[in-house]
Chain A
Amino acid sequence: MTTSSSPATVTLPTDEQILITRDFDAPRHLVFDAFTTPELVRRWWHANRGEMTVCEIDLQVGGRWRYVMVTPDGFEVGFHGEYRKVVPNELIVSTETYEGIPEGVSEEDGTTVNTATFAETDGRTTLTLLVQAPNRVSRDAIIESGMEDGLQDALSLLEQTARSLG
């Protein structure tokens, strides 16, 4: 059991952005490797919600990537995109398109620009993932997709607040 397990934090800096931050108890070259090596990505990207059936990474400017996951009940989700900027161990800027875009939504509206930054302090790495959506509707749809497991925090601060206010 690792001692570094801390929750990811999600904030919404603007109407079109999602910012995900997490600290790792490892130097950044290892975090970068785990992020960009297909055999390694296959082991964590599924988030325990299924199995990755495709993991292709051509890590160079203009290179493509594609991830596909199949859930235990057979639901397939795919994402692909293109690398726009790669600074080894420091920075990756890439596009990301969800392959299940509903009909009527343009590819452009279904595409985000993601910036992953790896910063190391005292052997630990802070990873920040900035997701830039084309518009608010697109941003909200991405957040909503996280509702798949639909669990509710029974003791969330706001609930407690609501109760205390009667």
Chain B
Amino acid sequence: MARAATTTDAFNAIAEPRRRQILDVLAGGERPVNDLVAQVGLTQPQVSKHLRVLRDVGAVEVRDDGRRRLYRVNGEALKPIHDWVKSYERTWSDRFDQLDLVLDELKQKEDGR
């Protein structure tokens, strides 16, 4: 995990499960760090560390709102990565949809015995 904190690649920054969890929460809208701490179940220093990694790769943006700092997802930065995984997922889904057809046939053969 120590290594993950030093990553500068957006792809790896969001591949880390805890950071994906943080992004999921932020997908619902802007949040101060305390909200994230409550929802993700990590300590504030841990959440802050993850937020720093996400900010470094542009996945998350921050703005000051009075005394609070509000974090939000930068959807534009994440979209290519999201598409990247989705497309790979689609290839496997198409492959497995064909496999379903083969399995249907095998099941029928077995039932017919």
Q: Could you tell me if A20 and B98 are in contact, using CB atoms closer than 8 angstroms? A: no
Q: Could you tell me if B89 and A44 are in contact, using CB atoms closer than 8 angstroms? A: no
Q: Is A34 an interface residue (CB 8 A)?
A: yes
Complex partner residue of A165 from B12, B75, B91, B96, CB under 8 angstroms: B75
B89: chain A residues within 8 A (beta carbon): 7-10, 20, 146
B97: chain A residues within 8 A (beta carbon): 5
Nearest A residue to B109 via CB reads A30
Encode contact with A along B62-83: 1 for CB under 8 Å, 0 otherwise: 0000000000111110110011
Encode contact with B along A125-166: 1 for CB under 8 Å, 0 otherwise: 000000000001000101111111111110011111111110
Docked pose: A140 CA to B89 CA in angstroms:
14
Q: Could you tell me if B101 and A165 are in contact, using CB atoms closer than 8 angstroms? A: no
Encode contact with A along B1-15: 1 for CB under 8 Å, 0 otherwise: 001100101011001
Task: Please count how many residues in chain B sit with their CB below 8 Å of the partner chain's CB atoms.
Answer: 44
Interfacial residues of chain A within 1-54, with CB under 8 A of chain B in the complex: 2, 4-5, 7-10, 12-15, 18, 20, 22, 24-26, 30-31, 33-34, 40, 43-49
Query: Interface range on chain A: under 10, 10 to 19, 20 to 34, or 35 or more?
Result: 35 or more
Q: Could you tell me if A44 and B102 are in contact, using CB atoms closer than 8 angstroms? A: yes
Q: Could you tell me if B91 and A146 are in contact, using CB atoms closer than 8 angstroms? A: yes
Nearest B residue to A31 via CB reads B103
Most buried by B among A2, A143, A165: A165
Q: Could you tell me if A156 and B86 are in contact, using CB atoms closer than 8 angstroms? A: yes
A46: chain B residues within 8 A (beta carbon): 95, 98
A149: chain B residues within 8 A (beta carbon): 87, 90-91
Q: Could you tell me if A24 and B93 are in contact, using CB atoms closer than 8 angstroms? A: no
Q: Could you tell me if A143 and B73 are in contact, using CB atoms closer than 8 angstroms? A: no
B residues whose Cβ falls under 8 Å from a Cβ of A: 3-4, 7, 9, 11-12, 15, 17, 27, 29-30, 72-76, 78-79, 82-104, 106-107, 110
A-B contact pairs, 19 of them (CB 8 A): A4-B100, A5-B97, A7-B89, A9-B89, A12-B15, A22-B92, A26-B106, A31-B99, A31-B103, A44-B99, A45-B95, A146-B91, A149-B91, A150-B87, A152-B83, A156-B82, A156-B83, A162-B73, A164-B29
Instruction: Identify the 8 closest CB pairs spanning chains A and B, nearest first.
Output: A162-B75, A146-B88, A44-B98, A47-B95, A8-B92, A12-B15, A44-B99, A26-B103
